[in-house]
Amino acid sequence: MARDDESATGLGHADMGHFVRNGGERCRECPLAECSGLHHHALEVREWIASFRKGEVHYDRGEQVFVQGTRPPYLFTVLSGVLMRTRLLEDGRRQIINFMFPGDFLGLQAAVDGEMGHSVEALTRVTLCAFARTQFFELVTQQPRLSFDLTWLAAHEEAALEEHIVSLGQRNARERMVALAVFLVQRGLDTGLAPEGVLQLTVTQGQIADMLGLSLVHTNRSLQALRRLGLVDWKLTSIRIPDLAEARRFARLDGSSQTLRPYI
């Protein structure tokens, strides 16, 4: 429900963020290289990726990177910042599908289909590494290692969506919230966005509601309950979980596997 119509104008990538056309030379300073949660490529693979890169794009919080139903010219790897994928129903109801962190690949659906089935919006200022959609086939085809990594990312995104489905189908409001908080903080830890276990990220209660399939009012009340219970302290600009293990138990989440993620 809680729709904010800030950027549903259909403008889409017509205003292409702030595109900086620069090639692989910038890859030497790739911010992902310092990310401890990522698996880093061999030099030759890195150089191959560099030759593919078309430039960098910046978006500010609230801007749309992809618009549902359009055919984007570029696909992206997130270099920094956080985004969310959303899907709209014709009557205006909105569902947030998932959040995207540094290292994630954006636009896989467009890559194979041409068209996006969802929108992607920046939650913070983000930097994206741009690839040409028309060259995607070469990317999958010419570099076995990257092809495998892409499959890896797709399989893991699928697993994340499964977990979200379990939340929506089987968990009550509080459990859902804890599960989401744990997921976000964990990803924040893996990508260096949550120093000392506190994720610095601005998420409104309206967005939480749209992610968890709850009303704004009920989201608010459940959030207060969790704060009182000392399980999760979720404020506008930060998420703090005093005891990760206890939160996991509460939401009935099983231990995370903690493998290094590849990235393209």
Partner DNA sequence: CGTCTTTTTGAACGTTCTCAAGGGATGTGG
Partner DNA sequence: CCACATCCCTTGAGAACGTTCAAAAAGACG
Contacting residues toward DNA, per CB under 7 A: 1, 4, 6, 172-174, 204-206, 213-224, 236-237
Give min distance, CB of 124 to DNA, in A: 12
Give min distance, CB of 242 to a second copy, in A: 22
Cα(103)–Cα(108) distance, rounded to whole angstroms? 14
Give min distance, CB of 262 to DNA, in A: 34
Q: Which is nearer to a second copy, 56 or 104 (CB)?
A: 104
SS3 179: helix
Contacted by 53, from DNA, a second copy, none: CB < 5 to 8 Å by type: none
Cα(230)–Cα(249) distance, rounded to whole angstroms? 14
**Count of all residues that appear for the chain in the document:** 264
- Find residue 127's DSSP bridge partners: 58, 80
Give min distance, CB of 204 to a second copy, in A: 17
Measured between its terminal Cα atoms, the distance across the chain in Å is 35
Site for a second copy, rule CB under 8 A:
85, 87, 89-91, 93-95, 97, 108-109, 111-113, 115, 117-118, 137, 140-142, 144, 147-148, 150-152, 154-159, 161-162, 164-166, 168-170, 210-213, 252, 254, 257, 259
Which residues are CB-neighbours of 190 under 8 A, at least 6 positions away? Answer: 36, 37, 101, 261
